[in-house]
Amino acid sequence: MSEAIEKIKQAKLEYKSDVKPTWCPGCGDYGVLASFIKALGELKIPTHKLSIVSGIGCSSRFPHFVKGYNLHTVHGRALPVALGVKIANPELEVFVIGGDGDGFAIGGGHIPHVARRNPDMVYIILDNAIYGLTKGQVSPTSTLTMTTTTTPYGALEPPLNPIMLLLAYGASFVARGFSSNTKQLTQLIVEATRHRGFAVIQVISPCPTFNMEITFDFVRERVVEIPPKHDPTNKLKAFELAMVQDKIYTGIFYREERPTFEGNLDKIVSKFDGNIDELSKKERLEKLFEQFA
């Protein structure tokens, strides 16, 4: 057993896997990876208790670069996969990491349902307002009139507002960070992980290769920390901050304490004293057959 403990100790120090990131030089996602690993160290989460789940995209390559019991799934489905991991083993620290297309376009139908369930997990959206992996198509957070490979005459759709959506859907922790501000981002990830419930961080993480509009400079010029006087338990005020267009607020917009989904599921099982041994289960099953005789 001491060997196992030794392994745990080492694991804490070695979050980086031996797969090297394949991101373009200068990609915002490097800053997020660095912040994430720092946050894990601060939280002292052992890698065997860590589960990172992603969909498909440049950002969704994330779980290959960090040691853990990870899943690199299909485009847009990371959230419901992660929900399964969490309910089957609530002991695991579950993170979902992916892009704006993965989360808000193809996977957009899952966010409201995971949000209202409130499983204890962290969802980090690496928002570059473009489809990176597929080389530069428009995304749900691209700006109106933005030209991309599939909108050569300018995007016709206004971007959606992720923070407003998350607040409306009932995410119990909503924050925004910027990939270049790793100090703040690390703290946001730590806070989100400590939060019991569904915590979402939209990280503005520019794609210097394909997005010529939302660049590092563009973001730097507009980014402002949420004023310290903001009360994050006030949802109306959170909405007000989220509506601001000319500035990009970073920090925690909103947080609330609510029972978790896996906790509620466990309550149903406990109500029936469902975690009985195999022999008792057999007896119980025989009794259930009686009801159909």
Partner 1 sequence: MSENGNLKDVVVRIGGEGGEGVMSAGEILTYSAARSSYRVFTFRTFPAEIKGGLAMYQFRVSPYDIFSMGDKLHILMAFNQEAFDNYSSALAEDGVLFYDPAECKPLDNFTRKKYEVPLKELAMASGTHLAKNMVATGFLSAVLGIPIEESEKQIADKFRRKGEKLLQQNLNAFRSGVEYAQKYLDELKRFRLGKPEGKDKRVILSGNQAIGFGAIAAGCKVAVGYPITPASPILEFLARHLPKFGGKVIQNEDEISALATCVGASYAGAKVLTPTSGPGLALMTELITYASMAELPVVIVDVQRAGPSTGMPSKTEQTDLYHVVFGGPGEAPRIVVAPAHVSDCFYQTVKAFNLAEEYQMPVIILSDQVLAYQTEAIPKPNLESIEVVNRLEPDYESQNSYLRYKITETGLAPIAVPGHPGFEYIAPGLEHNERGAPNYTPKVHTEMQKKRFRKLDVLAEKLENENDDYYEVKGAKILIVAWGSTYGAVREAIEKAEMNGIKVSHYHPRILNPLPKRKIRNIIGNYEKVIVVEQNYNGQFANILRTFVDYNPIKLNNYGGIPFTSEEIYNKIIEVAK
Ligand X SMILES: Cc1ncc(C[n+]2csc(CCOP(=O)(O)OP(=O)(O)O)c2C)c(N)n1
Please report, as ranges, the residues that interact with partner 1 according to CB under 8 A: 3-4, 7-8, 11, 18-19, 46-51, 53, 56, 63-64, 67-74, 77, 79-89, 91-92, 109-110, 112-113, 265, 268-269, 271-272, 274-276, 281-282, 284-286, 288-289, 292-293
Do 100 and 112 contact (CB within 8 A), yes or no?
no
Cα separation, 222 vs 255, in Å, equals 24
Min CB(288)–ligand X separation in Å: 41
- Choose from ligand SF4, ligand X, partner 1, none: what does 89 bind? Cβ within 5-8 Å by kind: partner 1
CA pair distance 158, 89, nearest whole angstrom: 40
- Our finding on whether 159 is near ligand X (CB under 6 A) is no
Q: Positive or negative, the Cα torsion across 40, 43, 48, 52?
A: negative
Alpha-carbon gap, residue 59 to 176, rounded angstroms: 16
Chain residues in the site for Mg ion (CB under 5 A): 99-100, 128
Residue 58, classed as helix, strand or coil, is coil
Q: How far apart are CA 61 and CA 41, in angstroms?
A: 21
Check residue 133 for interaction with ligand X (CB under 6 A).
yes
Alpha-carbon distance values, 246 to 38, 72, 149, 160, 218 (Å): 31, 36, 26, 15, 11
Residue 208 interaction partner, one of ligand SF4, Mg ion, partner 1, none, beta carbon < 5-8 Å per kind: ligand SF4
What is the binding site for ligand SF4 (CB under 6 A)?
A: 23-24, 27, 29, 58, 128, 132, 207-210
Which residue in 15, 65, 95, 131 binds ligand X (CB under 6 A)?
A: 131
Task: Choose the contact partner of 100 out of ligand SF4, partner 1, Mg ion, none; CB within 5 to 8 A by kind.
Answer: Mg ion
